[in-house]
A = this chain, B = another copy of it.
């Protein structure tokens, strides 16, 4: 086995294609439905929202989809990202496990989000689109799309959940530094926003509302398209550069993961690390135990229903089959803002149903505890979202110690926590509490799931 701590690859080793797991599914993904007719929607239905190339990727069953050269040129600014062997963490945990992590925090936005923001901006510009509207919760995705827009000369408008807009002025400034326009949501700029503000003048906003606003803006303007930072097939596709690089780096390390772990909000960073290994499993019969770590306060995979649902609060999106808490579900306050979504990527949901992906839910203090342990060993302070994956990896490493078995564990460290120090401040001051979702709210939200027209 290779004794290195860090596995870096030259820019010539950036993957030339993304991996499309749809090509290897034993059972195809359920279709996306039109909420009015209950019929499967086609590419034309998506045309108001996305450029043709992204729609083609959304429905493609090609295994490998070429990464355009201008996208690879931008990827060179931070990719390939390093893969580490966490030797110091292994020693502290006194575990026979070999712990590896892929670190996406080296991107200019500090997370994995630019992996898809860049191709989305590229394909929009390529289709002559002048503006992209999107939503952001904690700000990671908005920052990434702002960055990507600046590279390709595409204007970016970001609807930012109002409470984050007010509490995280730094995130707003970050987006503005790249030239994006950032608007508190609900806003006065859309019908959805105006209606909600009239009904609930003091609302803190939500991701579901912000999505409705961005979708409405894109659908109502010819020069504007919409972009989503997770959930959709093409978004997950773009993130597979993570796992494809990791496959190559594990080969340099002369090792192969027994366990692959990612945190799941919408599912994209998880898919990024896991899908290429799942592909190996499907095609080559390799055995990998794949674990999706989600927040116990917003547990779509472990407590949600696998059903058709809307992606947004305003019910402007098509119906997708996914694990969902219902679009009326509102999670209690917790710090991993990127994991506060009511649904889960259809591809991830499908793989859970097929028994390929194993979900697990964690409370936040256990995650922050894991993050601080990790930071004191490996140096990097993880984003609160990433702490869920760290927790999962540490638990598996402890299990290896208890069972006296050496397994190779690979997890995705999807971003650094430099923008999230308020959360750490609370944790370190002993003020952080575990919050559970409201079971009555979940019940009522699930009862409101849409009825699919026959």
Q: Which residues of A contact B (CB under 8 A)?
A: 4-6, 8-12, 73-74, 76-78, 84, 88, 106-108, 110, 114, 147, 150-151, 169-174, 176-179, 372, 375-376, 378-381, 418-419, 421-422, 424-425, 428
Contact = CB atoms under 8 A, between A and B. Distances in A.
A73 B3 CA distance: 12
A377 to B, nearest CB: 8
Contacts of A150: 375-376
25 contacts: A4-B12, A5-B11, A5-B76, A5-B77, A6-B11, A6-B76, A6-B77, A8-B10, A74-B379, A77-B84, A108-B379, A108-B381, A150-B376, A151-B376, A169-B421, A170-B422, A173-B424, A173-B425, A174-B418, A174-B421, A174-B424, A176-B424, A176-B425, A177-B375, A177-B428
- Oligomer copy total: 2
Given A379-B77, A379-B147, A418-B419, A173 B428 contact: yes
Given A379-B77, A422-B170, A177 B8 contact: no
Contacts of A419: 418
Contact of A418 (B147, B172, B418, B428): B418
A142 B362 CA distance: 32
Given A6-B11, A150-B376, A177-B428, 7 more contacts: A88-B151, A151-B376, A173-B425, A176-B425, A177-B372, A177-B424, A179-B376
A106 B74 CA distance: 18
Contacts of A11: 4-6, 8
Contacts of A106: 106
B170 A425 contact: yes
Contacts of A108: 375, 378-381
Contacts of A77: 5-6, 84, 378-380
Contacts of A179: 376
A11 B372 CA distance: 25
B78 A381 contact: no
Contacts of A418: 110, 174, 418-419
Top-6 shortest CB links A-B: A170-B421, A108-B379, A173-B425, A5-B76, A150-B376, A418-B418
Contacts of A74: 379
A436 to B, nearest CB: 25
Contacts of A173: 421-422, 424-425, 428
Nearest to A148: B379
Contacts of A84: 77
Contacts of A110: 418
A6 B78 CA distance: 8
A150 B378 CA distance: 10
A428 B146 CA distance: 15
A387 to B, nearest CB: 12
B177 A381 contact: yes
A160 to B, nearest CB: 14
Contacts of A174: 381, 418, 421, 424
A170 B428 CA distance: 12
B379 A78 contact: yes
Tell which of A74, A114, A380, A421 has the most Cβ of chain B within 10 Å: A421
A425 B375 CA distance: 29
A74 B169 CA distance: 34
Contacts of A177: 372, 375, 381, 424, 428
